[in-house]
Amino acid sequence: MLVRKLDGGLSTALEANGNKLTGSLWTGELLRTAPREIEKAHRDFVNAGAQVIITSAYQLSFSGCDIRGWSKSDVISALALSTELARSASSDHDVHVAASVGPYGASLSDGSEYRGRYGVSRSVLREFHKQRLDILIETEPDILALETMPDIEEVEVLLDLLDETGSDIPFWVAYSCKEGNQTNAGQPFREAAQIVAERKYALAVGINCTAPEFIAPLLNSAEIDFPFVVYPNAGRKWDASKKEWIGKPNGRFAPDLLAEWIELGATIIGGCCGVSPRDIEAMELEGN
């Protein structure tokens, strides 16, 4: 089975290169102030052997950027640039670019993407995602990465929007999850995975920004014959008030963990927050 190596935490690579990420737009702010730093961070992962890289669009939204004084045209330009920078960083390699589609909770900048159940209607979620999704599709990425999704309801809204666009771009959905084989909103991961696996252009379903020790039980619980995408964080806790990760990082996943994830059906494996290019380079994947 072919297993592709995904990149790691974009913010981790940016910070290692001396960038300070303290604002509500996180890595997205650099799309206006230092775009070449984003390109360099992408290239660090490509040089580390990543075969799929995720763009810097995660934190961008019209509502979230408006609070920071961005115009609508600023947001549109930044979304387009996010895909352009990833393509530029990987132009000399056989690397797929996955456009990041972050959750509604990320725009709130309060850690809601690790809780879900935002207390808003489906129509609010639809309005939040629709225009941004349309723009990202127009940038023609190889993959759409619907990631750090804490709640089935939000994913259902996104899947319906994808159907309406008529897009045939392959996509994955990666949920943010917790102990007990649940999404962070408290729904069974089995149900969360199933609604994705039923969709025509779904490439994979899985888990990201979740502690590594939870991954195997979550995959086991899914009970589906479908490819998984897995990119855990380094095992730390997010402090939303301080906007920093708490605890000692361990971005290098043990070989036995990687082997178990592959045995359970993971075909795309990388890392999230706290996982550096050096960690990705050290990752040995059977079948890669």
Q: What ranges in 28-121 are assigned the alpha helix state H?
A: 30-33, 35-47, 62-67, 72-89, 104-108
What's the domain count of the chain?
Answer: 1
CB 116 within 8 A of CB 156: no
The per-residue pLDDT for 108 is: 85
Distance of CA 249 to the CA centre of its chain: 19
3 state DSSP class of 183: strand
Amino acid at 261: W
Quote the pLDDT of residue 45: 98
Higher-scoring residue by pLDDT: 215, 108: 215
Cβ atoms of 261 and 235 within 8 Å: the answer is: no
Mean pLDDT: which of 5-9, 90-94, 111-115 is highest?
Answer: 5-9
Q: How far apart are CA 131 and CA 32, in angstroms?
A: 20
Q: How many whole angstroms separate alpha carbon 247 and alpha carbon 236?
A: 5
- Give 189: exposed, middle or buried? Use CB within 10 Å, 0-12, 13-18, 19+: buried
Q: Where are the alpha helices (DSSP H) in the chain?
A: 10-16, 30-33, 35-47, 62-67, 72-89, 104-108, 122-138, 152-165, 189-197, 215-222, 255-263, 277-282
In 3D, which of 135, 42, 126 has the Cα closest to residue 90?
A: 42
Q: Which domain holds residue 111?
A: 4-282
Length of the chain: 288
For the cut 60, the answer to whether the pLDDT of residue 75 exceeds it is yes
**Nearest of 73, 83, 97, 105 to residue 35 by alpha carbon:** 83
For helices 215-222 and 255-263, what crossing angle results, to 10°? 10
- Given this model, what pLDDT does residue 109 score? 74
Higher pLDDT, 68 or 217: 217
| Mean predicted confidence (pLDDT) in 34-51 | 97
**Residue 168 lies inside a defined structural domain of this protein:** yes
In sequence order, which residues have a C-beta less than 8 Å from that of residue 13 and are 6 or more positions away?
Answer: 41, 44, 45, 276, 277
- Over residues 260-276, the pLDDT tens digits come to 999 999 999 999 999 99
CATH of the domain at 121: 3.20.20.330
- How much of the chain, in percent, has pLDDT values that exceed 70? 93
- Report the pLDDT value the prediction gives residue 155, as an integer from 0 to 100: 98
The answer to whether residue 147 is domain-embedded is yes
In a domain, 288, yes or no: no
Q: Taking the CA of residue 211 as centre, how many other CA atoms within 13 Å lie in the half-sphere pointing to its CB?
A: 17
Is the predicted pLDDT of residue 245 greater than 60, yes or no? no
Angle among Cα 121, 103, 167 to the nearest 5 degrees reads 95
Q: Is residue 287 part of a domain?
A: no
